[in-house]
Amino acid sequence: MKLKDKKNRVLRDLRISVTDRCNYRCIYCMPREVYQKYDYLKHSELLTFEEIGRIVNIFSELGVRKVRLTGGEPLVRKDIEQLISLLAQNPELDLSMTTNGSFPTTRVHSLKDAGLKRLTLSLDSLDEVVYKKMNDVDQSVENAMRWINECEKVGLGPIKINTVIKRGVNEESILPLVERFKGTPYILRFIEFMDVGTTNSWKMDDVVTEKEIIATINSKYPLQPIAPNYSGEVARRYEFADGSGELGVIASVTQAFCGACSRMRLSAHGSLYLCLFANKGTDLRSMIRGGASDEEISLFIQNLWTGRSNRYSEERSEAKTNTDKVEMSFIGG
């Protein structure tokens, strides 16, 4: 099935936040001053794995093929491998996860064995001091690097590496990261600092733009833009002129990509969000716990998507930036 919204965008991706908690305090997502004392969702409020499995089956009937597990930090959710095993029973699904790579590397094996297909690792610097500045926790780059090696060993690669760049904090990390991963199968994706939610004190001045990121790299390692792998791909791709691989930039602030946005998001407490910058979600949990049939839930989702016209990044303005928006840690990136 091809379900189209008001902008003719086909629903293809579902991002599922399995928890609103994280063991990191990234300054661009869950700043400590806000999230240290925070009213997190209670366990009873979370969708169960069975409920998530049922929702995903309904979405896959509607054409969803890519399911990404996020958080907060998805590995904070106990026994997440059980959910992956459940979802992996559907061979049509491309099951992936985004993690901060801070858990023991034994989890790489259990995730792979459970049926995870792809993994994206957040890594904001190779410099321990800068890494801690960005993530505001006493965790080490080394563990994240061990995850990269372990993923390769178990064949969960090539993994993508996401790096958020914030001016004045980690722009000096761009070239060292390029030098570390250039010539390897790993795909670096630099992310412009985004005005997600309302807690990360976002300012345009703190955004290192795609243009600046590419200029920094180009000055030492010439790059050329290449075509997207598929319509709706969030990262703009560049390959090294010397043929030693590629990297990407996710430029939601300066190069909006709403035109082909195919993503819906499900929060850990069972609400659907039509955009990363949405003001509010639509409750699905009470339908599920209220005894609604699969047909009723499917129709509900279809009506939600076909009525969708969100394109926040294309419309971003001073006024919009300051509106009340859902937190990224609540619906996943």
Can you give the binding site for ligand SF4, defined by CB under 6 A?
Answer: 252, 257-258, 261, 263, 275-277, 310-313
Residue 112 or 265: which CB sits closer to ligand SF4? 265
State the minimum distance, in angstroms, from the CB of residue 312 to ligand SF4: 4
What would you report as the CA-atom Rg of the chain, rounded to the nearest whole angstrom?
A: 19
Residue 6 or 153: which CB sits closer to ligand SF4? 6
State the minimum distance, in angstroms, from the CB of residue 59 to ligand SF4: 16
Residue 93 or 261: which CB sits closer to ligand SF4? 261
Residue 70 or 252: which CB sits closer to ligand SF4? 252
State the minimum distance, in angstroms, from the CB of residue 281 to ligand SF4: 13
State the minimum distance, in angstroms, from the CB of residue 5 to ligand SF4: 9
Residue 95 or 196: which CB sits closer to ligand SF4? 196
Alpha-carbon separation of residue 139 from 123, 128, 129, 132, 276 (angstroms) = 11, 9, 10, 7, 27
State the minimum distance, in angstroms, from the CB of residue 329 to ligand SF4: 15
Q: Which 3-state string (H, E, C) describes the chain? A: CCCECCCCCECCEEEEECCCCCCCCCCCCCCHHHHCCCCCCCHHHCCCHHHHHHHHHHHHHCCCCEEEEECCCHHHCCCHHHHHHHHCCCCCCEEEEEECCCCCCHHHHHHHHHCCCEEEEECCCCCHHHHHHHHCCCCCHHHHHHHHHHHHHHCCCCCEEEEEEECCCCHHHHHHHHHHHCCCCCEEEEEECCCCCCCCCCCHHHECCHHHHHHHHHCCCCEEEECCCCCCCCCEEEEECCCCCEEEEECCCCCCCHHHCCEEEECCCCEEECCCCCCCCEECHHHHHCCCCHHHHHHHHHHHHHCCCCCHHHHCCHHHHCCCCCCHHHHCC
Residue 47 or 258: which CB sits closer to ligand SF4? 258
State the minimum distance, in angstroms, from the CB of residue 274 to ligand SF4: 7
State the minimum distance, in angstroms, from the CB of residue 234 to ligand SF4: 7
Residue 15 or 285: which CB sits closer to ligand SF4? 15
Residue 50 or 314: which CB sits closer to ligand SF4? 314
Contact 250, 190 (CB under 8 A): yes
Distance of CA 190 to the CA centre of its chain: 13
Residue 17 or 313: which CB sits closer to ligand SF4? 313
29's CB contacts (< 8 A; 6+ apart) are 22, 196, 197, 200, 327, 328, 329
State the minimum distance, in angstroms, from the CB of residue 120 to ligand SF4: 16
State the minimum distance, in angstroms, from the CB of residue 178 to ligand SF4: 25
